[in-house]
Amino acid sequence: MTVSRAHFAALYEQYLPAVSAYLRRRVARDDVDDLAADVFAVAWRKRDSVAAGEELPWLYRIAGYLVANHRRRLAARASVLGWFAVPDSAPAADAALDGDPALASAWATLSATEREVLALVVLDDLAVAEAAVALGVTPNAVSVRLHRAKKSLVAALGASGDSDPA
């Protein structure tokens, strides 16, 4: 069944704060509005392909693609290697962790995949099943990634002499 404009608006308006927060953790504040508009424009175009109840993680998935593309464009302006960068939509260390240098350093050692799954579950408060939708992988894969990501983060903190994760 095709979702009407009214139904789309009624259904998706509730996700504006979440999408804004998701984007703000990943891009500059000035870019949030435009990217959010793109997220919902894509969502409208593909509105019939999302399962009921999975709208938010699906929006995150769209947003993740757009953030990765956005970053690649920015990177390309700074360095020729930017065009060849691996897609990365996870929050960066310098974006949010100035108040905890040890954690920032450890966060920076994680792979994009590890940062993304941690961000979705810990910062964006998605359940594992929802994160699976956002990442386009199975819940089992999310569980494995999440476990490895936490393990890597703890190890990185330990390596920096910070033995207390709390």
CB 88, CB 69: distance < 8 Å: no
Regarding 38 and contact with another protein (CB under 8 A), the answer is yes
Of the pair 73, 129, the CB lying nearest another protein is at 73
The position carrying tokens 């919902």 is: 40
Binder among 122, 127, 129, 159 for another protein (CB under 8 A): 122
Regarding 166 and contact with another protein (CB under 8 A), the answer is yes
Q: Could you give the dihedral angle defined by the CA atoms of residues 45, 46, 48 and 54, in that order, rounded to the nearest 10 degrees?
A: -130
Regarding 87 and contact with another protein (CB under 8 A), the answer is yes
Give the CA diameter of the chain.
56
Cβ 92 to another protein, closest distance in Å?
Answer: 11
- Dist. CA 107–CA 117, nearest whole Å: 12
Q: State the sign of the Cα–Cα–Cα–Cα dihedral 73, 78, 83, 86.
A: negative
For 64, residues 6+ apart whose C-beta sits below 8 A from its C-beta are 89, 116, 134, 135
Binder among 96, 109, 148, 160 for another protein (CB under 8 A): 96
Binding site for another protein (CB under 8 A): 2, 5, 8-9, 12-13, 16-17, 19-21, 23-25, 29, 32-33, 36-38, 40-46, 48-49, 62, 65-66, 69, 72-73, 76-77, 79-80, 82-87, 91, 95-100, 103-104, 113, 118, 122-123, 135-138, 141, 150, 153-154, 164-166
